[in-house]
Amino acid sequence: MHASVLQVIMFNFFKKKEKENLLPELFDLKGDPLAEGDIVIAQRYELNECRIVLEDRQYFYISIADQQKISYIKMIDAISGYQKVLKVHE
């Protein structure tokens, strides 16, 4: 193999792979999947009924009553990894 071909192969092998900007999968306390637009009852921050919205590739809970906005990160249950919300099934 020519040195230049070997260099190209080695460069591609060691080149950092670009991380895909995948959205996290969200689940309520019962393990039900959550998606943008779902209505949930929050168990934190006195949000009560909220709608899940997606802004700048991050999920937020927006209170229907007073429009208070909280990041999904603050709603993660440390033990289960699920969100501290319960999905409202219509």
Per-residue pLDDT of the chain (90 residues; tens, 9 = 90+): 555 655 656 565 565 555 556 889 999 999 999 999 999 999 988 899 999 999 999 999 999 999 999 999 999 998 889 999 999 986
Please answer whether residues 32 and 82 qualify as being in contact, where contact means their C-beta atoms are separated by less than 8 angstroms.
no
Q: What pLDDT is stored for residue 49 in this prediction?
A: 96
d(CA 31, CA 27): 5
Q: Write the DSSP symbol of residue 28.
A: -
Structure tokens belonging to residue 61: 């809970």
Q: What pLDDT is stored for residue 2 in this prediction?
A: 56
CB proximity list for 42: less than 8 A, separation 6 or greater: 48, 49, 50, 61, 63, 70, 75, 84, 85
